[in-house]
Amino acid sequence: MRIVIAPDSFKGSLSSLEVAEAMERGVKRVLPESTTILLPLSDGGEGLVDSLVVASGGNLLEYEVQGPLGSPVLAQMGLLGDGKTAVIEMAQASGLTLITEEERNPLITSTFGTGQLIEKALDLGCTKLVIGLGGSATNDGGMGMAQALGFRFLDKKGQPLGSGGAELARLATIDTSHVDPRLHNVQIEVACDVDNPLTGPQGASHIYGPQKGATPEMVEFLDKALANYDRVLQKDLGQDVGLTPGAGAAGGLGAALMALVGGKLVSGIELVLRVLGFEEKTKGAQLVLTGEGKFDAQSAYGKVPVGVGRQSLKLGVPVVVVAGTVLPDAEVLHAEGITAYFSILNKPMSLQEAMDNGAELVENQVAEVMRLFAVHK
């Protein structure tokens, strides 16, 4: 029996690779002669680098770059097996987890380090970049990222702006005369599963600003600063991206990647499945196993199991989800290619107990699932 094992991580408990390995052990316990193909996945956010590097036989690289507040941090990026594709998670350089709760301040945090990672990828000769958004500490519209790549953001007197989202309120001109020319020869795909515009009630500042430390007054100021940025992008570069779905992702980094470096925003899970060749690897399989920490109706919105289900449905391959918890509304996901779903919980237990024993619980539940297939071998 040929089985594709393609789960997401169980956040706070197991990485996607650890989940996949636990599932494989469960399969082999019942069907030791089966062929298993492990494809640990990510929805384009946390775990993007690891999942693509592992599956492609690539390498993890580590660099010292500027963190959200300018202090040095060690950030990882991936070089895929083709040697020409780099994978970057912006949260590695500009993420919320890199600063303390007391340090959160989107008026001054910057995406400069993310731009430095892009520069490192260019130094390696990469011709394709995959950039994952999410988990940002920033609301600077991607200005810091662009500054690292040679863009100059100037005030009315022609003086360069500093760092952080507050500076965008003073923006008058964007000078592109010193931009790294290698950007013209690179294809950039951006894994993004939010549809927020740059500004307004559903924009970057209002929806995500508070979790980054913004007070109500700061939210209003930052929204106006991004609106000014949007006007200058239109005036100087002819780029009208402010209302494009995803422009507000990662504090407006989505807008910068589209308007300044020609990035294309795509569904994170669809991008991951395509890069990993999921369709080719699943053809001829008799079963796909997938999973995530919490499986419910919201999983239809860019999450791994439903992305896997939709692809597998086209191929006529059944999909079984094994999840940490399953909510009653998950029933609607049968229409998305999910054949059946199971929780790993086999008795009443606390969340902490389930997380501490996640690998064993996954393995045991998969083994029980496989007994159904062993009967019909």
Residues 25 and 99 in one domain: no
Residues 37 and 73 in one domain: no
pLDDT at residue 243, as a whole number: 94
Residues 257 and 146 in one domain: yes
Residues 237 and 98 in one domain: yes
Please report, for residues 44, 60, 188, 258, the alpha-carbon distance to residue 88 in angstroms, rounded to integers and kept in the order given. 10, 11, 11, 16
Residues 71 and 98 in one domain: yes
* Contact in structure between 174 and 217 (CB atoms under 8 Å): no
- Tokens in use for 139? 């609301």
pLDDT at residue 377, as a whole number: 58
pLDDT in tens, 167-196: 999 999 999 999 999 999 999 999 987 889
Residues 29 and 94 in one domain: no
Does residue 169 lie in a domain region? yes
Task: Indicate the residue among 209, 243, 268 that finishes a domain.
Answer: 268
- Determine if the pTM surpasses 0.75: yes
pLDDT at residue 360, as a whole number: 94
pLDDT at residue 48, as a whole number: 87
What are the residue ranges of helices labelled H in 186-277?
204-208, 216-237, 249-259, 268-275
pLDDT at residue 46, as a whole number: 75
Task: Indicate the residue among 241, 268, 295 that finishes a domain.
Answer: 268
Does residue 274 lie in a domain region? no
Residues 84 and 134 in one domain: yes
Does residue 152 lie in a domain region? yes
Task: Indicate the residue among 242, 268, 294 that finishes a domain.
Answer: 268
Does residue 277 lie in a domain region? no
Residues 251 and 170 in one domain: yes
- Residue ranges of the chain with pLDDT lower than 70? 376-377
| CATH code for the domain in which residue 98 is found | 3.90.1510.10
Three-state secondary-structure class, residue 265:
strand
Residues 250 and 130 in one domain: yes
Does residue 94 lie in a domain region? yes
| CATH code for the domain in which residue 350 is found | 3.40.50.10350
Residues 134 and 84 in one domain: yes
Residues 56 and 126 in one domain: yes
Q: What is the C-alpha to C-alpha distance for residues 241 and 14, in angstroms, rounded to an integer? A: 37
Q: What is the C-alpha to C-alpha distance for residues 144 and 253, in angstroms, rounded to an integer? A: 9
Q: What residue has token string 């393995």?
A: 363
Residues 221 and 236 in one domain: yes
Does residue 275 lie in a domain region? no
The tally of domains found in the chain comes to: 2
Q: What residue has token string 């005030």?
A: 155
Domain that holds residue 33: 2-41+282-375
Does residue 276 lie in a domain region? no
Does residue 19 lie in a domain region? yes
- CB under 8 A, 24+ apart: contacts of 212-219: 212/96, 212/104, 212/105, 212/106, 212/109, 212/136, 212/137, 212/138, 212/139, 212/251, 213/101, 213/103, 213/104, 213/105, 213/106, 214/106, 214/107, 214/139, 218/106, 218/107
- CB under 8 A, 24+ apart: contacts of 310-314: 310/336, 310/337, 311/273, 311/278, 311/279, 311/282, 311/337, 312/282, 312/288, 312/337, 313/337, 314/279
